[in-house]
Amino acid sequence: MRAPDADAASPRVDAAGLPLGFFSGLPGARPRPARDAGPLRAATRGRGESDEPELLAYLRAGLLLRVVRAALPDVLAPRTPPLTRAASLLTDGTWVWRLDLAHYVARAHVRLPVDFLSAVRARAHVPPEVDADRLTALRAHWAP
């Protein structure tokens, strides 16, 4: 299913994609193109966005760019079981994020960038279709 006005809702993006939620202090290697989003704890809040369930569904529906098989600790709850494939990368064709971002949004209502929220809401929380050439370009750029 294609999101309504998906192209109009996307921020201008180059071949690299836009990094989303690569917080400092997260275990695992940071991909070279990822910009530091600051400390994870500084982005946590007591309450999430009113549409947090839809945002979580969007994050979880991302297309897989890279699998990182290692299980990594939850930095907000280190005594809980590790997060499987936490540093794996997902995309919607524009944004690129770690698999564990949805976990931290659900657990600690992590603040997401306004540009991302606006784009997702403009698409009515429906991820756009991403063509194979775009996925190939993103995989090449985000490869280790």
- In tens, the pLDDT along 97-127 reads 999 999 999 999 999 999 999 999 999 999 9
48-58 pLDDT, tens digit each: 999 999 999 99
Residues of the chain with pLDDT under 50: 1-12
* Distance from C-alpha of 107 to C-alpha of 129, rounded to nearest angstrom: 28
The DSSP secondary structure of 9-55, one letter per residue, reads: HSPP--TT-EEE---BT-SSPPPTTPPP--BHHHH--SS--TTHHHH
Q: Whole-model pTM?
A: 0.89
* Ramachandran angles phi, psi of 54, nearest 5°: -70, -35
Contact 106, 56 (CB under 8 A): yes
* Distance from C-alpha of 101 to C-alpha of 96, rounded to nearest angstrom: 10
Distances (CA, A) of 122 to 8, 11, 43, 114, 117: 8, 11, 23, 12, 8
Q: Please, is 18 exposed, middle or buried when counting C-beta atoms within 10 Å of its C-beta (0-12, 13-18, 19+)?
A: buried
